[in-house]
Amino acid sequence: MTGKITTAEDNSPLPGANVKVKGTTRGTNADGAGNYSISVPDGATLVFSFIGVVSQEVSVGSQTTVNVALKADTRQLQEVVVTALGAQRERRTLGYAVSNLQGDVLTRSGEPNIIQGLAAKTAGVIVTSSSGTPGASSKIVLRGPSTFTGEQQPLIVVDGVPINNETITSSSGDYPFNANLGGVSNSNRALDLNPDDIASVTILKGPAASALYGARAGNGAIIYTTKRGRSQRGIGVTVNYRLELSEVNKLPKLQSEYAQGAGGAYSTADPGPDQRLGTDDDVSAGTPNSWGPKIASNPSLQAFDNPANFFQTAVSHTTNVALVGGNDKATFRISYGNLFQNGVIPNTDYTRNTIRLTTEANMTDNLRIGGTVSYIKSGGLRAQTGSNVAGVMLSLLRAPASFDLRNYQYPNGFNRNYYAFYDNPFYTAYKNPFTDDVNRVQGNVFINYHRSSHLDLTYKIGVDAYSDSRQQVYSISSNGDDNNQTYGQVNYDNITNRDVYADLILRGEHRFSEKFGVNYTAGHNLSTFNQTDNFSRGRNLSIPNFYNLGNAAELYASNGASRRITTAVFGQLDFDYANQLYLSVTGRNEWSSTYERRIRNNFFYPSASLSWVFTETVLKNTPITFGKVRLAYAESGIPPVPYRTRTYFGKPSFTDGSTNGLIFPYGGVNGYAYYNQIVGTPNLKPERVRGLEAGLNMRFLENKIDLDVTVYNQKTVDILLSQPTAESSGFPARYANSGQLRNRGIEVMLGINAIKTPAFSWDVNLNWSMNRNKVLNLTEGVSELSLESAFVGIGGYAIVGQPLGVLYGTKWQRNESGQLIIGSNGLPLLQGTQGSIGNPYPNWLGNIRNTFTYKGVTLTALIDIRRGGAIWDGTYARLQRIGRTQESADRERTYVIPGVKADGTANTTAITPLAYFGSYLGDNGGAAEQFVEQGNWFRLREVSLSYRIKTRKYLNYVDLSLSSRNLFLQTNYKNVDPETSLTGAGSNLQGFDYFNNPGTRSFIFSVGLGF
Amino acid sequence: MKKIILSVLVLSLVTSSCQNKFDEYAVNPNSPETASAALLLSATEVSTFATFGGEQSRIASVLVQQTAGNQFQYQTYGQYIITEADIVNQWSAIYNGPIVSGRTLLDRYGEGNPYYSGMAQVLMALNFGLATDFWGDVPFTEAGQALSGNFQPKYDSQETVIQGIQSLLDQAIANLSQPQTANTFLPGEDDIIFKGNTAAWINAAWIIKARYANRLSQIDPAGSATQALADLSHVSADQPDMNAVFYDYAGNFNQWYEFLAVRANYIKMGQYFVNYLQSTSDPRLPYLVAKDEAGGYSGLPPEESDNSAASDPGPAVASADSPTPIATYAEAKFIEAEAQLRLGKADAAATAYNEAVSASVQRITGSAIPAAFQQSTASATAATVSLEQIINQKYVALFSSPEPYNDWRRTGFPRLQANQQSQRKAIPLRFPTSQNERNYNRNATVVSDIYQPVWWDK
């Protein structure tokens, strides 16, 4: 049997369209010209289907050629989506909200990170990149955060196998602070996947959609399906190349009038005869302050634009080659992807090489086997960020205009800077490299036995294993070493991770009558997690620029490991009635090693969802083409982290917060203590996310308008929490089930097919979502608690009655009408206690995509709007204090802070600019509330113009496109691009900006060839 | 096809028939559930080095102008802005450090180990003292009992806490006086302070008892003096001082030294302190104060900041391995001088004072007091000895420990002028309650006003 599959609209071929013999697994795909060939038994019925078209069944009879023209289905009425555990279901039957995106959404975004590529693509998804530096992590939260201190990100599943998406920050066993606040921006491990390998993405936003994943799906799940091979004549080859040019898109406004110094007197660092800063012969250490004289007043001084001199235009190259082929027995796809990104910070880059083979074969009519294997090598050179005297932005933005940073080393190669105790940003970029080298293998194999429509059995086992070897160097004379001694340091950190996942799934269907049937699923699942982290460090290096532990006079090592095993049995029943009423119930019982075995280690997670396509019964023959209501309830979970059912001793680092403290071995003596240990709880339970959601999907005017609205109310109970305790109890925290949290929200997705002619089309897609998060309770007697250790003056808190993660810091004293109360020295008075000063999560998110297509030309523009989302701008506060901001150049005057005195009369006390910018607008005693800004933005996240040239000879097509990311950004935020996060995806702190590396704007040219 | 189904089922069973894996996976490879008496003692001692040698003493030194807050966080402290978040680490360092380690040592090894018990009790008494001196009412009777389920310990009045400290020290002295044979385990190298020397521990316990007796000088002037003198009668000049011990090795550094390296220029020497040493031609000057950028000795007044040219703390207090005093013979003699003076025994007071100054010079400079300085400063008589003189010299002798701040609050000496650019133009009288206690302990007595004096500070 042969034939050609085309579109009904313009008879163009439909490469890749599916042909299946009804009632069997036998099937094939059309080749590049739309031709197919398949052997079929007599009397068979062929089913022709493809994404975006209405599928069609044809009785073969005795024909040997069947050509079909499939009708376009722009709203994808029969859209098949991948749901939990890889089950493919028609979208119309689903009783819960899912978002389904095609893989080109990721590639078109120009983002190398399959997480960041989801930003502003659908409703109810909050993506936050940590910075614009190559390889930096992106954090994704669906709807709103479901838990306090545990994992808040969804489960990431690729081809049915969950993969590791951790963001691991290197930290030695004796490092006492939150390592997320400094160091480098690490990668989230999903970054290892090549967006060009992704065929589609399904986002399971709520617990109803993800309940079958049990205790790992309390935050929802994102299911990536990779591209597969197809049967066709010859081998199809696609090649594409992208060139990307990036530049910094936003920096704070700095003054260039006043020089380095204090009290109007100029001073700068002078290392003395040894040409090395920070030593006893220093003539002057300099100052970080720019309260010196006017640059114009001193002929020996001139102003430099250091940020402009420092940042560069970054060039990135992406190359992808894929080969696909097969026949009706077997198919394959091999792909190779290479990404090389340069950073806007000198000497930073990120390289990723991926190679992937996917193959499937029909061994008999009933037996299909297949598998995927991929090898990934990724990593790069990263720059120091955040609260870190070797941080690039810390030293760069603080650098006085009077100091030219470009001359960054003395002739002897030592750090040259304006202040002895910071590294010159050039010096740290070139001399203190952090490198990571990730080698990762992901693979899965499956065997599928299809006996009949009543019995279909699949066993799948997948492995995701990687090693991550990191090296951090602090050159001799760099201040970045742990003790700021400038003696040089080298850290090695070797992380290995292995996730193994296996499941056995039985599926089938049974029809009770023509109208009424059931699909059933039952299965078993096993998963293990093994991670090790070996850290070693050498300090006091002898030979410059030689990095090996042998070169160190002081050695330290620490190691850690974490393991988890879970098994589960699960089942699902999907009833359908009269092609309009659908009921689905699921259940999963799960066992995990992270519970105390002798008490109870297994728990059950149920869900139920109902949907009714009412247009099958009512409102027929109206402008409403399609209408469906849905309702779902589910419980999914979040499991405890390992080793929290008991209390352990730890190797202490006694510190007061200012130094790295005292550690063991101490003068050769060892010690163990409960210092900074967490009290365990034997009878831990999983935390449960109980979600109720309802939705309405309607399509009007022959599917020209598609509206989907979801409302949800998700409550997390028994929250597993590393709950801070009063240290007078002897412990700083205990791990227990306590607290409740609620997320309520609305998600609206509207698609308008405004114009559709054979030559021209205009589509508008609009997504809008709002989430309201509220902490309902914490634990007995506690109404406020810290989520994670942060800076002394500012933290992220859970407060009863407020949204999770509110910024928490010092506040001004105010009278009833909100005016500041000014003290005798002319400065406002601080409140004695800290409190909530801003919600870091947005009020709402919206995005609009307009797509215009004229013949082969497509113009698409994605506008991304965010309202609200407080950010603590610690950078700007410090820059005010040290006199670097443009505002602080207005200093030839006094200031009177608006407010009232203690007696209620208006304040008239004039203060110096130093007090005004330092202690009121700056962080020398200024209230933290003063530094909180809303991270509103309006950005043109994506604009692209692409053209497909179809050719006949040698080549099928040529794709050309020109696009830009963040071409336009409008924001009230005073510092860098407000899409920023100091703590990255590995942390639950949100809205922290303290000398974060900046974001970027980029221009991308790409060319693709299809053979 | 049955073969296939069977093999798939077998495969699935093989991967899941690993119930014993659950046990294996539940074992924590990173941390132990038990620790020996030796490990706990060394942890209790080192955590005490952190509490006495760290931030709490440094902030105290800024408040009494031995040092000055020059930059960043310390510049802010120098303006007397000390918030409930600033001192969370200091509070935690005490209770999550030596208090819980000491209590665990007593709970697990107290029976049959009087020496370990006695040492733990001395260290706990010291740290309860540090807590109550800065915070007033603090948990004592219910402190450190999270493992028995008490996460919200009640606060005891400062009077109760100080009685408790005295009683802990009495028990310690009794325990340390037991024969060696009464012990199952004997402390040795794990006792970093005295290497198992119980006589030295007993001597230190008496000094600390005298310190807390004398602390009540404003509550019961005569009784406190009598009690302090009774305690001091057990103190011998031959016993070694109790110091926080440090080594020139990263992670074991003197915490003043490390602070000056990691937080360079956050503090500089205080002008009052440097001027006082210069005006008395004190031989301890080059030991307590480092040279400034100009090669001399200078300090900053509390109003001045961001001047990195001034002196840093000197080699006797801020070398990588210089010891920080916890309980010294010099302090004992200053307490004796003060107590004798309070009882009207000026002659005995003068003798003790002269001895105290000499002991301090010997301790800090490593050599005997120079004759000229002895003549000018350590030759008080019954006619000339004064409380101000005693406390001013104690202020010099105990630089780098928190005692000078306690003495200033108690006696008003030395006569300091508060930062004139601060809101209140007055030196704070305490630390505010830790933010964590306010948030997580409903039994906490919350005091946010840093000008509310503690009970013994009348």
In degrees, rounded to 5, the angle at the alpha carbon of residue A2 between the alpha carbons of residues A1008 and A332 is: 45
Q: Coil, strand or helix: which one is A952?
A: coil
- CB contact (8 A) between residue A728 and residue B55: no
What residues form DSSP beta bridges with A428? Answer: none
Closest CA to B1 of A364, A40, A521, A25: A364
Lowest mean pLDDT among A61-70, A204-213, A222-231: A61-70
Chain A partners within 8 Å of B255 (Cβ): 656, 659, 661-662
Q: Which amino acid is at A900?
A: V
User: How do residues A607-657 score in pLDDT, each as one tens digit?
Assistant: 999 999 999 888 888 889 899 999 999 998 888 999 999 999 999 999 888
Check residue A802 and give its pLDDT.
Answer: 95
Q: Does B449 touch chain A (CB under 8 A)?
A: yes
CA–centroid distance for B100 within its chain: 16
Distance from C-alpha of A310 to C-alpha of A521, rounded to nearest angstrom: 59
- CB contact (8 A) between residue B147 and residue A647: yes
Check residue A69 and give its pLDDT.
Answer: 83
Chain B partners within 8 Å of A830 (Cβ): 81, 83
Chain A partners within 8 Å of B436 (Cβ): 724-727, 732, 786
Q: Which amino acid is at B91?
A: W
Check residue A78 and give its pLDDT.
Answer: 56
Q: Considering CB atoms only, which of B81, B145, B189 is closest to A925?
A: B81
Show the 3-state SS of A514-553. CCEEEEEEEEEEEEEEEEEEEEEEEEEECCCCCCCHHHEE
Report whether pLDDT(A856) > 60: yes
Strand order in the sheet with A992-993: A932-934, A870-873, A992-993
Give residues with Cβ within 8 angstroms of B51, minimum separation 6: B90, B93, B94, B97, B98, B127, B130
Between B375 and A597, the more confident residue is B375
User: Å from B364 to nearest chain A CA?
Assistant: 22
Structure tokens at B351: 């003798």
Mean pLDDT over each residue of chain A, to the nearest integer: 91
- CB contact (8 A) between residue A652 and residue B39: no
Report whether pLDDT(A816) > 60: yes
Q: Does B10 touch chain A (CB under 8 A)?
A: no
Check residue A76 and give its pLDDT.
Answer: 45
Residue A805 vs residues A152, B273, B438: alpha-carbon distances, Å: 12, 45, 19
Q: Does A564 touch chain B (CB under 8 A)?
A: yes
Q: Considering CB atoms only, which of B35, B100, B258 is closest to A731?
A: B100
Q: Does B29 touch chain A (CB under 8 A)?
A: yes
What residues form DSSP beta bridges with A260? Answer: none
Q: How much helix, strand and coil, in percent to the nearest 5, is found in chain A?
A: 10, 50, 40
Q: Does A496 touch chain B (CB under 8 A)?
A: no
- Residue A721 CB neighbour total at 10 angstroms: 23
Q: Considering CB atoms only, which of B22, B43, B436 is closest to A597?
A: B22
Distance from C-alpha of A80 to C-alpha of A71, rounded to nearest angstrom: 16
Lowest mean pLDDT among A15-29, A520-534, A726-740, A867-881: A15-29
Mutation site, B21, B33, B46, interface A, largest A CB count within 10 A? B46
Mutation site, A679, A729, A912, A995, interface B, largest B CB count within 10 A? A729
Chain B partners within 8 Å of A447 (Cβ): 4, 8
Please identify which residue in the block is written with the tokens 């203060």.
Answer: A911
User: How do residues A37-91 score in pLDDT, each as one tens digit?
Assistant: 888 877 788 888 876 677 788 888 777 888 888 876 644 445 788 888 888 888 8
In degrees, rounded to 5, the angle at the alpha carbon of residue A672 between the alpha carbons of residues A667 and A678 is: 140
Residue B173 vs residues A483, A912, B169, B189: alpha-carbon distances, Å: 39, 58, 6, 21
Report whether pLDDT(A288) > 70: yes
Residue A387 vs residues A251, A381, A473, B76, B402: alpha-carbon distances, Å: 18, 19, 17, 18, 30
- CB contact (8 A) between residue B46 and residue A662: yes
Pairing of β A314-326 and β A265-266: unpaired
User: How do residues A954-973 score in pLDDT, each as one tens digit?
Assistant: 888 899 999 999 999 999 99
Distance from C-alpha of A47 to C-alpha of A774, rounded to nearest angstrom: 50
The mean pLDDT value for A343-357 works out to 97
- CB contact (8 A) between residue B31 and residue A289: no
Instruction: State which residues of chain B have pLDDT below 70.
Output: 1-19
What residues form DSSP beta bridges with A265? Answer: A262
* Extended strands (E) in A792-923: 794-799, 806-809, 821-822, 835-838, 842-854, 857-868, 870-873, 895-896, 900-901, 910-911
Return the DSSP state at A918. Answer: I
Between A574 and B5, the more confident residue is A574
Q: Which domains does chain B have, with CATH numbers?
A: 37-250+322-413 (1.25.40.390), 255-318 (no CATH)
Check residue A75 and give its pLDDT.
Answer: 45
Closest CA to A541 of A463, A489, A474, A482: A489
Check residue A243 and give its pLDDT.
Answer: 96
* Extended strands (E) in A731-834: 733-737, 740-756, 760-777, 784-791, 794-799, 806-809, 821-822
Q: Does B307 touch chain A (CB under 8 A)?
A: yes
Q: Does B308 touch chain A (CB under 8 A)?
A: yes
Q: Chain B window 332-361: which residues touch A at a Cβ cutoff of 8 Å?
A: none
Mutation site, B3, B40, B76, B439, interface A, largest A CB count within 10 A? B439
Check residue A721 and give its pLDDT.
Answer: 87
Report whether pLDDT(A178) > 80: no
DSSP string for B88-142: HHHHHHHIIIIIHHHHHHHHHH-TT-HHHHHHHHHHHHHHHHHHHHHHSSB--TT
Q: Which domains does chain A have, with CATH numbers?
A: 2-73 (2.60.40.1120), 104-248+313-390+432-645+680-805+840-869+936-1010 (2.40.170.20)
Chain B partners within 8 Å of A596 (Cβ): 26
Q: Coil, strand or helix: which one is B343?
A: coil
Given phi > 0 = left and psi -120 to 50 = alpha, else beta, which region is A826? left
In degrees, rounded to 5, the angle at the alpha carbon of residue B238 between the alpha carbons of residues B388 and B173 is: 90
Check residue A9 and give its pLDDT.
Answer: 66
Phi/psi at A145 (5° precision) = -65, 135
Please identify which residue in the block is written with the tokens 């089938």.
Answer: A508
- CB contact (8 A) between residue A561 and residue B436: no
Check residue B6 and give its pLDDT.
Answer: 63
Structure tokens at B157: 């009045």
Check residue A258 and give its pLDDT.
Answer: 97
Between A17 and A665, the more confident residue is A665
Mutation site, A366, A646, A727, interface B, largest B CB count within 10 A? A727
Report whether pLDDT(A878) > 90: yes
Closest Cα in chain A to B52: A656
Show the 3-state SS of A850-872. EEEEECCEEEEEEEEEEEECEEE
Please identify which residue in the block is written with the tokens 């071995």.
Answer: A665
pTM of the predicted structure, to 2 decimals: 0.88
Closest Cα in chain B to A285: B308
What residues form DSSP beta bridges with A938? Answer: A865, A970
Distance from C-alpha of B152 to C-alpha of B164, rounded to nearest angstrom: 19
Closest Cα in chain B to A823: B423
Check residue A779 and give its pLDDT.
Answer: 86
Contact assessment for residue A189 and residue A167, using Cβ atoms and an 8 Å cutoff: yes
Give residues with Cβ within 8 angstroms of B135, minimum separation 6: B91, B430, B431, B433, B434, B447, B454
In degrees, rounded to 5, the angle at the alpha carbon of residue A822 between the alpha carbons of residues A819 and A826 is: 140
Report whether pLDDT(A837) > 50: yes
Pairing of β A434-452 and β A367-382: antiparallel
What residues form DSSP beta bridges with A374? Answer: A356, A442
Phi/psi at A72 (5° precision) = -65, 145
Chain B partners within 8 Å of A809 (Cβ): 85
Between A906 and A791, the more confident residue is A906
Q: Does B247 touch chain A (CB under 8 A)?
A: yes
Closest CA to A864 of A119, A15, A241: A119
- CB contact (8 A) between residue A661 and residue B103: no
Structure tokens at A400: 């006085």
- CB contact (8 A) between residue A730 and residue B261: no
Closest CA to A827 of A903, A905, A925, A923: A925
Structure ipTM: 0.94
Structure tokens at A169: 């920050």
Please identify which residue in the block is written with the tokens 């202490």.
Answer: A652
Cis peptide before B414 (omega within 30 of 0): yes
Q: Given pLDDT bands bounded at 50, 70 and 90, which one contains residue A667?
A: very high
Check residue B14 and give its pLDDT.
Answer: 54
Q: How much helix, strand and coil, in percent to the nearest 5, is found in chain B?
A: 55, 5, 40
